[in-house]
Amino acid sequence: PSGAARDDDGRLVIAGRDAASLADEFGTPLYVVDEADARGRASRIRAAFEAAAASAGTTVTIYYAGKAFLSGAVVQWVTDEGLAVDVCTGGELAVALAAGADPASLGFHGNNKSLAEIEAAVGAGVGAIIIDSEIEIERVAAAASRAGRVQPVRLRVNSGVHASTHEFLATAHEDQKFGVALDRAVELGTRIRAHDSLDLLGLHCHIGSQIFDSAGFAESAERLLAAHAALARVAPLPELNLGGGFGIAYTSADEPAPIEAIARGILTAVSDGCLAHGVPVPKLAFEPGRSIIGPAGVTLYTVGTVKPVPIEGGVRHYVSVDGGMSDNARTALYGADYSARIASRASDADPVLVRVAGKHCESGDIVVDAEYLPGDIAPGDLLAVPATGAYCWSLASNYNHVPRPPVVAVRDGAARVIVRGETLHDLLARDAGLEPSDTTGA
């Protein structure tokens, strides 16, 4: 996080607290979130899009995508910073509502929402349900009509644009589970409008994640605007939601464009497209998750073993830590790149090639695939892995009966637990084959 630095003894300091004292107080593995950093990113993204939208004569709503990491505290931070919240299951909806989010500011996603989830969202009065398939039109309409409500909805459309990092690919057809085909958007939008219990706000599109510039969003917006304009000519269509996906730097090799430039690029494409189609520029909405919470998070681990393994042309040092793929599945799942630093001390030792591995029973259990760390790295050292705020806690598991670590927020040197860590008791208590007396835990 931007608040991370070293103190005079070479210890890593996060938002005014030194990492070693956090590890002493809360144990490791530990997810640490820099609250001011997360809030700052939320407000910077909002300001960037508000400025770009204002110069295009429109307004914008930024939804925080809760799938990246959702907890009561985070809902409060992002709503304080003027963001709405995007949820995609009944569980995420429950967290947002319990944290006091205004239901009218929530968006509810999902390609296979259960009837119970649709009813919960309608009953709570969520601001928009994103309709993801033809079948769902009738389901949401029926639930809204049973509840005696008019439910605002968006229609999720596949623009055919797939973007990730600095490349995007545009195809005519999409072979994936989300949304409806672009060439059916007008027909299905019209079908939504035929229901008295539904209010069509606009089209929605999400083209991918970890995207570094505006080109993919611009291409997607251009494609969507023909359908948007066709629907807008029949009746007002106030909104266009272009999803989330702004990329972050996981390592020094990643260089996402500044969000201000991305915002300007997208807004230029949208206003040019609207001019070409002869329709007013709609209100815009975006749903970033990773770019708000990802860089604000650091995971702290304690080194347990160090094992030099001869490889072609040298030695690879396997540094095994007290967590792994149960608290960060992204390396194993996506081949994600992370970096690591010794957090508990400075060292002048020459760097050696390191692979940070976890404690799980498989060789793919890797946290950082390749990193150079001081050659004197040893058991007991504290290791920090930055940029773990998004899709780490939210993808965590209990693989090998490892309890999930706590999440601690730090602000101005003060730390507090925002999500309690699991204990062995928590894990054993769910096992119906154990007597309650066996579940006191170790």
Alpha-carbon gap, residue 139 to 413, rounded angstroms? 49
Using alpha carbons only, give the angle 205, 210, 215 rounded to the nearest 5 degrees: 60
What is the footprint of ligand LLP within residues 379-398 (CB under 6 A)?
390-391
Give catalytic status of residue 88 as yes or no.
no
Per the CB < 8 A criterion, the answer to whether 394 and 92 are in contact is no
Segment near ligand LLP (CB under 6 A); pick from 118-126, 185-193, 284-292, 410-418: 284-292
Least distance (Å) from ligand LLP to the CB of residue 353? 26
Using alpha carbons only, give the angle 121, 151, 76 rounded to the nearest 5 degrees: 45
Among 1, 289, 386, 389, interactor with ligand LLP by CB under 6 A? 289
Alpha-carbon gap, residue 243 to 171, rounded angstroms? 18
Task: For residue 76, give the H/E element and its range.
Answer: helix 72-80
312 is in an annotated binding site: no
Among 46, 191, 223, 330, interactor with ligand LLP by CB under 6 A? 330
The backbone torsions φ and ψ at residue 119, rounded to the nearest 5 degrees and listed phi first, read -65, -40
Does residue 136 interact with ligand LLP by CB under 6 A? no
Q: Which residue from 103, 153, 130 is spatially nearest to 205, judged by alpha carbons?
A: 130
Q: Out of 88, 205, 361, 392, which one is annotated catalytic? A: 361
Alpha-carbon gap, residue 410 to 435, rounded angstroms? 39
Alpha-carbon gap, residue 12 to 383, rounded angstroms? 10
Q: Report the residue number, 151 or 209, with the smaller CB distance to ligand LLP.
A: 209
Does residue 11 interact with ligand LLP by CB under 6 A? no
Does residue 118 interact with ligand LLP by CB under 6 A? no
Does residue 109 interact with ligand LLP by CB under 6 A? yes
389 is in an annotated binding site: no
Least distance (Å) from ligand LLP to the CB of residue 228? 18
What is the footprint of ligand LLP within residues 398-437 (CB under 6 A)?
none
35 is in an annotated binding site: no
Q: Residue 401 CB: number of other CB atoms within 10 A?
A: 10
Does residue 287 interact with ligand LLP by CB under 6 A? yes
Does residue 65 interact with ligand LLP by CB under 6 A? yes
Per the CB < 8 A criterion, the answer to whether 237 and 193 are in contact is no
Q: How many residues of this chain bind ligand LLP (CB under 6 A)?
A: 19
**What's the token pair of residue 128?**
């928009």
334 is in an annotated binding site: yes
Segment near ligand LLP (CB under 6 A); pick from 44-52, 244-252, 376-384, 398-406: 244-252
Q: Which residue from 21, 27, 10 is spatially nearest to 374, judged by alpha carbons?
A: 10
Residues at the interface with ligand LLP (CB under 6 A): 65, 67-68, 109, 206, 209, 243-246, 287-291, 330, 334, 390-391
Annotated catalytic residues are 361
